Structure formats: C-alpha cells, structure tokens
C-alpha cells in the first residue's frame, strides 16, 4: 500500500518528471529576435547580458548566437549577414531567416521588446528550475536508507540558493567573500607583484605612475579634468599611444568630443613627430610622409576600439564593454568626456553627478580601470593664478566621492601667452591611495602631446614587454 500523510492523503508524484513539458514560447522568441534585427543598438545591454540558451528552440539559439557574434565584431546583424552566417547550418539556414522576415513584417516597431524579453526570460528561469528539480528528484530516487538524507537536503538547499542568487531573490550575493579568502588573494597579488606580474596598467607618464601606485588599477575610476583646449583628449591619446607601443593592452575608447578620425590624426602627430596642422593639410615633406605612413602602420591595431556614437549613455558604455570583454577581452575604458554622456537630471550638475556614479559602477562591473575626462567650469579663469580645484568640477561633490583619483591639467601659457610654453602640471586633487601633489610635465603643442619628464620608468611602474 502507498504510504499516507497524517491527514490520510496519499503522497505520490502528480506527474512523473520525465513527462513534464518544458515551458517555451516560440512566438515571443521570434519577436525578440526580430526586434534585435530591427534595432540592435537599442538593446546592446540585453545582448551583452544574455547567452543563446535563454532561447528554447535550437534554431533560435543559433540565430541569436550569430547576432551576438556579429555585434561583438562591430557589425550589423541584418538579414543578409545572418543568412550568410547561418548558411552552413541546416537547422538554422535560410528557411528560418524567412520566418524572421515574416515576423518582422508583423512588428513595425520594437516597442514590445521588453514584454517579449520578459516572457522568454521567465520561460528560461522555469526551465532551469525544472532541470535542477529533476536532477534532485533522481538523486532522491537513487538514495538508500537514512544515511544520505542530510546530504540530499543540503544539496536541495544549495540548489535553491543558486537559483535565488541567479534570479535576484535572496541567497548569498555574488562577490561575497570570507576575510580569509580575501587575505589569501591579497597575499597572492603581493607575491605576483614582486615578480613583475601585476594587473596595474602603467600610463606611460612615469612621474605620474610613481604617485598613483604604478599606474591604473582595476575597478577604479580616474577623472582627468581641465578647461576646454587644455589638452585632456591629448593626454588620453598619449596614454593610448603608449599602450599600443608597449604590451597587448585592449582599449575601448569613446571619443564623443573629438570623434574617431580626429583622435587618429592626433595619434599620428604624436607618433610621427609631424604637426597636426601639416597632417590635416597633407603639407608634408617626403620624409614627413614616410614618418606618417610608418606611424599609421605602427598604430593601426585591432585591440583599440573606438566608438563615436552620437548619443552615448552609461548603459551603452557598459554594454559595449561587456561585448568587447566577451569577444576579445578589455583592459581599460576611456570616456571623452563625462558631461557628454546622456544621463537624467534637471541641470548639468545633476547629469554630471549621475554620469560619475554610473562610470564608477562600470569600472566595478567590468573590473577594469575607467578613465573619464571632464570639463572644469569658468571659476578658475577669474581666479588669481588660475589654479583649478575640486570645486571647479561640475557635480564636484559626487565626482569627489566616486573617483579614486582626480587629475587636473594646468598650463600657465594657456591663460597668459607671455608665460614660458611647454610646461604643464598634472594636479592630483584627489589620490585615494597616495598623496595630493603636482606632477610636472612637458607639453608639445604642435604634436598635441604630453610628455613625462622622467627618462626611465621607476621600479614601481614597470612597462610590459
């Protein structure tokens, strides 16, 4: 006889787990794919956060994998590119693309994407829960005696905790560590540092690196501020040029202010020694042409990716960063500049504060250093000596709180042409793990380049081979 509960009701499985059908909604999946094809730029964050197994049908998984790979390469996932990508897949070839075309015809816009995505995400969660429950039931069915009961219950609890963490309901938070684990990691990092194996990224400005602990640290936000025309972009470009020449650093760069071509010209000027003006006009000697062509070959690397989208939001920055991390890896991210990011707010101060908070979170999420350029207000112009301070930053309170290091560029000849040119200071107005001070540098105006005054790198700012 079957056993009964205290209330006398039978205890038995209502439906054998093998006979349960996995939840899915093929129409919602097709609509999500259609939305991604119609306007993938709008949904970059979703693409970065989801893998193909969020879809239940294999052909949909294959199409989404093709979309994700195309976006990661910087391409456009339209019907032509997807058909070519899927041409060798019998299951997911032209016939499925035809189905998507039919679905796109029924979707004149992408307004319903959020609803479609929520449906398939819910189905995915239920499938994962069913799979975990099925595995546990099989373990229970194979168990014997009372000896394994505690282990089975513990396995169930662990499985539920993993599910709760994945779907945002309690459980141990991701990134939670014991102090013993953290101490062990610190010791490992110290041992690696003594061997020159470090995740600190030198800027190439050796005097600056000495003051900020050897370079840029992962998960840290670095603010580079100055008045318009002070050379913030040039400073960032000089770092990029150093990273290209030394090591294998992978850079994601948002030249919102200058644009990709202007930044490329500035890099050519820095690397070739020719003036920006002459390069723009093509007014070069034979030797100058050779220098520029050589510089173009040296600088033309795939590991530096520029994104000059007109409307850049913090969400787009994070999504692009995630996609690059998945495709090639990413070591550092540059945003030029903070006030040009599209953020909510009633005024420039509120919008800048929001952008600062978001960039600090991007650094944490991607586990890389983020360098954000920022404009200073006009207060320093009227001040004696024109020396900038933290209060000259728009949204200064929030930026001061979010940033690990705040660097401010200052040149006397910017305000007074009679002053000696070629001299510059990087004012470390905030330095979380070091002192606040001035770092003296040289400024080469014709090449739009800042230079360190140190000839050799100090021991704590090793440049990778």
pLDDT of 128 above 50 = yes
pLDDT reading at 349 higher than 70: yes
153 CB-near residues (< 8 Å, 6+ apart)? none
Domain boundaries, the chain: 14-168, 206-452
Give residue 464's pLDDT: 38
Sheet bearing 221-226, strands edge to edge? 304-306, 251-254, 332-335, 370-375, 221-226, 405-410, 423-431, 438-444, 449-452
Do the beta carbons of residue 232 and residue 426 sit within 8 Å?
no
Residue 409 bridge partners (DSSP): 426
Maximal CA-CA distance, the chain: 104
Where b means 16+ CB within 10 Å and e means fewer, 89-122 reads: eeebeeebbebbeebbeebeebeebeebbebbbe
Identify whether the C-beta of residue 349 lies closer than 8 Å to the C-beta of residue 71.
Answer: no
Closest by Cα among 122, 79, 87 to 104: 79
Highest-scoring range by mean pLDDT, 2-6, 50-54, 102-106, 397-401 = 50-54
The number of beta carbons lying within 10 Å of the beta carbon of residue 454 is 15
Give the confidence band of 224 by pLDDT, cuts at 50, 70, 90.
very high
Q: Which two tokens stand for residue 413?
A: 């000849």
CATH class as words, domain 206-452: alpha beta
How many CB atoms sit inside 10 A of residue 283's CB? 11
Which residue has 């600090």 as its token pair?
Answer: 360
Yes or no: say if 317 and 333 are a contact pair by the CB < 8 Å rule: yes
Phi, psi of 450 (to 5 degrees): -95, 150
- Structure letter (DSSP) for residue 217: P
Distances in whole angstroms, Cα of residue 27 to Cα of each of 33, 102, 128: 10, 12, 20
Residues 278 and 376: their CA atoms lie apart, in Å, by 30
For 151-170, what is the HEC assignment?
A: HHHHHHHHHHHHHHHHCCCC
Q: Which residue has the higher pLDDT, 191 or 240?
A: 240
Please say if the pLDDT value at position 147 is more than 60.
no
- Residues 96 and 63: beta-carbon distance below 8 Å: yes
The total of other beta-carbon atoms located within 10 Å of residue 337's CB is 25
Any idea which residue has 């009679």 for tokens?
Answer: 418
Confidence check: pLDDT of 157 > 80 = no
Q: How many helices (H) and strands (E) does the chain have?
A: 18, 9
Mean pLDDT highest for which of 164-168, 194-198, 268-272?
268-272
**Bridge partners, 424 (sequence order):** 441
CB burial string 366-375: b at 16+ within 10 A, e below: bebbbbbbbb
- Interior angle at CA 371, CA 439 and CA 175, nearest 5: 120
The H-or-E segment that residue 211 falls in is: helix 206-211
How many beta carbons lie within 10 A of that of residue 78, not counting itself? 13
Q: Which residues is 10 bridged to in the sheet?
A: 4
Q: What pLDDT digit, counting tens, does each position of 241-253 carry?
A: 888 888 788 889 8
**For strand 221-226 and strand 405-410, is the pairing parallel, antiparallel, or unpaired?**
parallel
- Across 232-358, the runs of DSSP E, i.e. the strands, are 251-254, 304-306, 332-335
What local confidence, expressed as pLDDT, does residue 230 receive?
84
Give the pLDDT of residue 152: 66
Mean pLDDT (the chain) is: 77
CA 176 – CA 366 distance, rounded (Å)? 17
- Residue whose entry in the numeric block shows the structure tokens 């939305």: 35
Q: What's the CA gap between 376 and 224, in Å, rounded?
A: 10
| Predicted pLDDT at 216 | 92
CATH of domain 14-168: 1.10.860.10
Which range has the worst mean pLDDT, 90-104, 112-126, 299-313, 322-336? 90-104
Q: Which of 437, 439, 354 is nearest to 402 (CA)?
A: 354
Q: What tens digit of pLDDT does each residue of 34-63 get? A: 888 888 888 888 888 888 888 988 888 888
Share of the chain above pLDDT 90, in %: 7
What is the Cα–Cα distance from 236 to 375, expressed in whole angstroms? 14
Higher pLDDT, 382 or 303: 303
Is residue 174 left, alpha or beta, with left meaning phi > 0 and alpha meaning psi from -120 to 50? beta
CB atoms within 10 A of CB 127: 16
Question: Could you say which DSSP state residue 446 is in?
Answer: T
């Amino acid at each position: 006889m079957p056993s009964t509960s205290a209330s006398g009701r039978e205890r038995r499985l209502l439906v054998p787990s093998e006979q349960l059908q996995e939840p899915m909604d093929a129409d919602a999946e097709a609509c999500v794919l259609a939305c991604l094809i119609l306007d993938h730029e709008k949904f970059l964050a979703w693409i970065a956060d989801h893998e193909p197994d969020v879809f239940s049908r294999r052909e949909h998984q294959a199409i989404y994998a093709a979309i994700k790979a195309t976006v990661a390469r910087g391409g456009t996932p339209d019907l032509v590119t997807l058909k070519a990508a899927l041409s060798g897949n019998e299951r997911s070839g032209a016939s499925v693309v035809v189905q998507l075309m039919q679905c796109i015809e029924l979707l004149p816009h992408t307004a319903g994407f959020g609803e479609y995505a929520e449906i398939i995400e819910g189905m995915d969660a239920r499938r994962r829960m069913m799979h975990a429950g099925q595995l546990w039931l099989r373990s229970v069915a194979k168990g014997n005696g009372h000896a394994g009961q505690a282990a089975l219950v513990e396995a169930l609890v662990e499985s539920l905790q993993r599910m709760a963490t994945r779907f945002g309901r309690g459980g141990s938070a991701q990134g939670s560590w014991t102090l013993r684990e953290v101490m062990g990691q610190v010791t490992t990092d110290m041992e690696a540092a003594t061997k020159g194996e470090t995740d600190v990224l030198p800027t190439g400005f050796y005097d600056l690196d000495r003051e900020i602990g050897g370079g840029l640290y992962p998960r840290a936000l670095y603010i580079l501020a100055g008045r318009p025309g002070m050379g913030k972009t040039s400073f960032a470009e000089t770092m990029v040029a150093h990273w290209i020449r030394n090591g294998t650093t992978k850079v994601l760069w948002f030249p919102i202010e200058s644009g990709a071509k202007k930044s490329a010209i500035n890099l050519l000027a820095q690397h070739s020694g020719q003036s920006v003006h002459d390069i723009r006009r093509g007014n070069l000697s034979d030797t100058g042409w050779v220098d520029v062509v050589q510089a173009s070959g040296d600088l033309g690397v795939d590991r530096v990716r520029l994104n000059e989208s007109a409307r850049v939001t913090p969400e787009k920055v994070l999504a692009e960063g995630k996609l690059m991390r998945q495709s090639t890896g990413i070591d550092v991210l540059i945003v030029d500049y903070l006030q040009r990011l599209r953020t909510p707010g009633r005024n420039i101060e509120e919008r800048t504060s929001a952008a600062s908070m978001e960039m600090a979170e991007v650094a944490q999420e991607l586990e890389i250093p983020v360098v954000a350029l920022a404009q200073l207000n006009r207060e320093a112009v009227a001040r004696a000596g024109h020396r900038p301070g933290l209060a000259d930053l728009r949204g200064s309170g929030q930026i001061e709180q979010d940033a690990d290091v705040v660097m401010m560029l200052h040149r006397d000849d910017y305000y007074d042409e009679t002053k000696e040119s070629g001299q510059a200071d990087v004012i470390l107005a905030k330095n979380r793990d070091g002192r606040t001070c001035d770092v003296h540098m040289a400024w080469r105006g014709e090449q739009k380049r800042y230079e360190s005054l140190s000839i050799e790198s100090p021991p704590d700012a090793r440049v990778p081979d």
